[in-house]
Each structure stands twice: as C-alpha cells, then as structure tokens.
Structure 1
Amino acid sequence: MITFQMAASLQQFSKPGTMTFTPLTWNARLKIMKGVANGMSFLHEFSPKKYVHGDLRPNNVLLGKDMEPYISDFGLGRLANIAGGAAPSSQSDRIGVEKAQSLQPDSSMSPLVSKEGSCYQAPEALKTLKPSQKWDVYSYGVILLEMITGRSPIALLETMQMDLVQWVQFCIEEKKPSADVLDPFLAGDSEQEGEMIAVLKVALACIHANPERRPTMRNVTETLERLSASVSS
C-alpha cells in the first residue's frame, strides 16, 4: 500500500524541486471517497462500539494497488499512551496525553492530532474533549473538498490566510462559477460535472458549523451510492 497524501499523489501540490504526480481521474477519486465513507460508517455504527476516529485526514488513509482505501491510525495514539505512558517529547506540536486521558474510557480516538491535522478538525473539537462522530464527519467533508477542488488546506492557509472550508464558503457567497471551485485537472471529466457538484453538496453538509446538522457517515455512504447508481442507470 501507499500513503494517501492529498498534497502529493492526488492533487499534485508538490513544491518546486520535488517529485510530481499525475492527478487522479474523477472516477478514481470517487472510488476513494466512497471507500472512506464505507469504512467510517462501519467504524461508527457496525463495529463492537460506536467508535470515533478523531484524526481523519489524508495521511491516515492508505491506498491499495487498485486505489481501494484503508483507514489507518485508529487508536494508535491511545495504544502508545498505554504502552509508554507519555507521548514523545519531540511532538510538542500535538495535543497532550493528559487531555486524551481525560476522555471517557469507551471513546476510542487518536489523541495525537498534529498541526496538519488541525486543518481537518471540527471547530467544536477545540472547545470540548469529549470525542464525537460528528468530528469525523467534518474531517471527511474537508477531505471531500480537497479532492473536489484540488486545493490543499495548508497551502491556502499559507497563501490566502483562510482554510479550505472558508475558501469554498467564500466562493459560494460570491457566486463564483463552478469552474473556479472544481479542480482544473478534472476538466477532462466535464461530462461528470453534475456528479462533482452533487458530491460538493455532500461535503458542504458534512462541514456544517452546527454538528447536529451534519449527516451521519451512514447517510453519506447511502447518498454516494445512490449518486453512482443514478449516473450509471
């Protein structure tokens, strides 16, 4: 498997002097979106406990040889805490173990969220330590936006002083044409633009400011499946 890094393999965000990659087609991206949604839906609803991942982001999704996604890093931080009793001192930019240990014992999430991961973190996660599945829904929505727009949340923060969610919301408020929002590399898949817009609407629902207004991952999975069925019929 290879690491699913949106800033490299999917969206060609490589900086000068680094290796470049061929952007994925829309069909390949949609396959990854659906696979991650299925995995998160299982984690939330069909696993022994209704788990929370807590740190869903591109670097925590692995791709198989046929672009099938595998969600990683679930519970690893918690296991590290149990084994070592503390996080490595070099990871000073991560949330402290003390905070993670204050979580309820049946709430399984990775407490070590990096600065990069904060781009995918739900706003309410900064105000409460109790993990919520709606956090994961928000993170998934940001990943969808990244795959649809071809823009890196980190790069936007560095260049425009706004994150990806703010940028997309700005484009919608300013009534920008869809071509300004969609990844230019998807222009060759223009016949599927309607499908892209439909997935964009799913992403916008996932990043709703009110956690209660966000769909469940099961809802997201069912919506994406219906979308694919309607397109193929």
Structure 2
Amino acid sequence: MVGICLVALSFCYWYRKVHGCKERKRTQGGSFEEKSMVRKEMFCFRTDDLESLSETMEQYTFVPLDSKVSFDLEQLLKAAAFLVGKSGIGIVYKVVLEKGLTVAVRRLEDGGSQRFREFQTAVEAIGKIRHPNIVSLLAYCWCVNEKLLIYDYVPNGDLATAIHGRTGMTYFKPLSWSIRLRIMKGLAKGLAFLHESSPKRYVHGNLKTGNVLLGENMEPHISDFGLNCFAYTSEESIPVQGEQMTIGTPQQGSPYALTPTHSSTPGSCYEAPESSKVIKPSQKWDVYSFGVILLEIISGKSPIMQMSLSGMDLVRWIQLSIEVKPPSEVLDPFLARDSDREHEMIAVLKIALACVHASPDKRPSMKNVSENLERLVSST
C-alpha cells in the first residue's frame, strides 16, 4: 500500500509540475509540419535557478510522431499511470488513456543543459524507425526541466524475466524451444534492420535481455534504442531474479579458471571486449551483445549470476566448458523436453560463438546472422 501511494504521489507531482505551467498559444517555425502535430506550449518557471526570467521561461512542446496518436498532453497527464521501472535513463510509466489505448511513458532524468534543437534532432531520428521488432516512439514532450518519450506499450515484460523469472513470482514457466527460437529470430531481424536498412545504419550500443520486450505472442521488441545520449548514470540497478538454476563452475586450480574480463555490472557482461578501449560504438559491438543474449537464451544462465558465481563471464565460461565436455552440457536443462531438436540448439550455439569472437572483424554481420537463423527456423 505504501508503495502504491508513493507511485501515485510521484506521478501527481509530475502532473502538477507540468500542468501548473501557464499555457499560451504561439507560432514558431520548425522541421515538422504544423498539421502533423499537436502543440501545447507553456511557460515553466524554475524556482531553483538564478537565471533571468526570460531564460527560465521555456516552451513546452508535445509532438506526435505517429498517426495512431489521437491524444494530447492534457489527456496523457490525466490518464491512470503505473510505475514500471527506473534506470539511468529515467522512470518508465504504463499509462492507460480514456479510450483504452495503453502507452509507455519514459520520463527522462533532468537534462536542462540539453537545448530543444539537440533533443528534437535526436528524438525525431529515433521516431522515424519503424520495424515489427523495434519499439515505436509515438510522441515526445519537451520543456527545460521535463522530457517525456511516449512509446507503444509492450505487454509481456522483458526477456530477462522470461528467461530467469523474478523474485516474488508465484509461478514460473520456462520458455519452450519454439518460443526461444522465435525470439532469437525476431531480435536478429530487428537488429539487422537497424544496421542495414534504417535511415542512418544505426548502432544500438546497449543491447541486453533487459532491453528486449515481449509482445502478446512473445515476439521480441528492441527497446531503449538511441537513448544512450540521455543517460545520466552509468548503470541500471541489478534486478533480483528468482528461480535461478545451480550453475556449475570449473574446479579450483583448473587452467580454465581465468581472470574475468568484465565487471559484474548489469550492462558490462553484454559489452564487447574492445568497448573499454574504443569510445565510439560500432555495429560489431551489437553483434557481440546479440551473441551473449543467444548464449543466455540457450543456456538459461544469467551473465550477471554467472560472473558472481564462477568469477568469469558467461561467454568465457561456455567457451571453456565446451572444450572439456559435449556442447549439449551447456544447454538449459529445461530444454530436455525438446531433446529431438537438440541439433538446432547446437546450431544456435555455433552462431552465438561466432558473434562473440574476440576479434570484431571476425564477427558476422547481423544480416548474415539473421539469414542463418531464418534458414534454421524454416527447416523446422
């Protein structure tokens, strides 16, 4: 009950903060057509700032980026909202509008130093991305001390929870091989689209199971694309996950007990080794992260838990394990019920190991990976 009250107070504070600004009409040029957008422009007074009045009064803009947006800012702020999660990029709410439309609203951490044109350029580039396996950005709001991103709501949680469960869950059903294969196939398609077919051949840069959301039919949707520039803390808090399996580790004194190459923070276990030396992300970083996700899906092991239990990351643990025992030994025990499809699992394992090659140049492209998975799926 206390938690519910805190959530309600938090959202009420947000509503009052935004709605309390004085609304007025104003005409201003921009890179988008007036007929394709709904604008609410307001003055927002920052009492904690000593800047002049003209500098503290800023425009508040609500901009739809999709034809399905039939609501305005007023309706959005009056709708029922439920806290979904919080990360270094901000707080996420599930918002249910009057007509039954459900959206996800990400309230970004305060970024007063980022001016409107910078924010507009970054967000509208994200808003142009449309693919069945990428979460669609529907609209955005901007003010000097409030930045909101409105997305399609994806109902079945994230892939990390689907694989490992979560503390407090009363019932946890492991994913079947068919569903895991569907998820891997869709995820590869979405990432290949970002790399090959999107307007600027993008890089995600922060791919992990917590950023893969699952739809009504357990189809994957890549989220948090393009949001790294809005992050104000280094990492997300580590989710406590239940139903973890016992993970075997190499014996002490074994030549396979290697020094870990990553720290045990949530995102680092998915990062390519070269990411610690190169500032600018590359598509090969994403390929590596995708490979880690494949290993996580087929082994059922959390990279974070694996690091804490064995002292090495999941990639190294699997690479060394298959040197001393059959590849089938690293598969999720829950997949034993699909033992007649073990050859497919081993094929995916080989694809994953190619993706996590230590040399970026030797990793396949996501287009190639997607095509290989497509052939595997179509042969089943």
Change (3 A) 1:186 1:92: closer
**RCO higher in structure (CA 8 A, sep ≥6):** 1
How large is the RMSD of aligned CA atoms in angstroms? Answer: 1.7
Quote the offset at 1:93 in angstroms.
Answer: 4.7
Quote the offset at 1:178 in angstroms.
Answer: 3.3
Q: In the alignment, which of 154, 157, 163 is matched to residue 10 of structure 1?
A: 163
Alignment of 1:52-91 (within 5 A): 52-78=203-229, 80=230, 87=232, 91=233
Residues 164-205 of structure 1 show CA distances to partners (whole Å, capped at 9, x for unaligned) of 00110111221x123421000000000000000000000000
- Which has the larger share of strand? 2
Q: In the alignment, which of 177, 185, 188 is matched to residue 26 of structure 1?
A: 177
Q: Unpaired segments of 5 or more residues in structure 2? A: 1-154, 237-263
Partner of 1:191: 340
Q: In the alignment, which of 112, 116, 130 is matched to residue 266 of structure 2?
A: 116
2:278 pairs with 1:128 = yes
Residues 65-116 of structure 1 show CA distances to partners (whole Å, capped at 9, x for unaligned) of 10111100011232x36xxxxx2xxx3557xxxxxxxxxxxxxxxxxxx920
Q: What letter matches 1:66 in structure 2?
A: N
2:311 pairs with 1:161 = yes
- Which has the larger share of helix? 1
Q: What letter matches 2:201 in structure 1?
A: K
Quote the offset at 1:19 in angstroms.
Answer: 4.5
Quote the offset at 1:230 in angstroms.
Answer: 2.5
Question: For the residues of structure 1 that align with 2:316 and 2:170, how far apart are their CA atoms?
Answer: 29
Q: Unpaired segments of 5 or more residues in structure 1? A: 82-86, 95-113
Superposition TM-score, scaled by structure 2 size: 0.50
Which consecutive aligned stretches of 4+ in structure 1 deviate over 2 angstroms post-superposition? 17-20, 91-94
* Paired residues of 1:54 and 1:131 also in contact (CA < 8 A): yes
Tell me how many residue pairs correspond in the alignment. Answer: 199
Partner of 1:100: none
Alignment of 1:147-158 (within 5 A): 147-158=297-308
2:194 pairs with 1:40 = no
The answer to which of 134-143 and 222-231 deviates more is 222-231
Task: Give 3-state SS (helix, strand or coil) of 2:172's partner.
Answer: coil
Q: Give the share of equivalent positions with the same residue, in percent.
A: 58
Q: What letter matches 1:39 in structure 2?
A: G
Structure label with greater radius of gyration = 2
2:354 pairs with 1:201 = no
* Paired residues of 2:180 and 2:297 also in contact (CA < 8 A): yes
Partner of 1:99: none
Superposition TM-score, scaled by structure 1 size: 0.81
